[in-house]
């Protein structure tokens, strides 16, 4: 006796489940990558912030800043 074919609804639900799992995996990967980008950007911003304060100090010492500062 041949086995009965799977219920069409069950087949579709399994496909949806597989796709959902892949999407969840992709989302986790994207979250990790975004976190890495954010950390890298923070690493770039720190030296720029220090450089900005150093330039301000130089401008003040050379009296190159506006009176409003």
Q: Does 39 fall in a domain?
A: yes
Range of the domain at 39: 30-61
* Alpha carbon distances (Å) from 20 to 11, 24, 25, 43: 14, 6, 9, 35
Count up the domains in the chain and report the number.
1
Cα(27)–Cα(4) distance, integer angstroms: 37
Give phi and psi for 27, each to the nearest 5: -65, -40
pLDDT given for residue 1 in this prediction: 44
What does the pLDDT look like over 43-68, one tens digit per residue? 988 888 889 889 999 999 998 877 55
Q: What is the pTM of this model?
A: 0.57
Q: Does 19 fall in a domain?
A: no
Q: Does 37 fall in a domain?
A: yes
The vertex-22 CA angle with 21 and 25, nearest 5°, equals 90
């Amino acid at each position: 006796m041949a086995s009965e074919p799977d219920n069409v609804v069950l087949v579709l639900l399994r496909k949806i489940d597989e796709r959902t799992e892949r999407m969840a995996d992709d989302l986790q990967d994207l979250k990790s990558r975004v976190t890495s980008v954010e950390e890298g950007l923070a690493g770039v911003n720190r030296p720029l912030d220090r450089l900005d304060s150093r330039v301000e100090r130089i401008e003040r010492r050379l009296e190159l800043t506006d009176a409003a500062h």
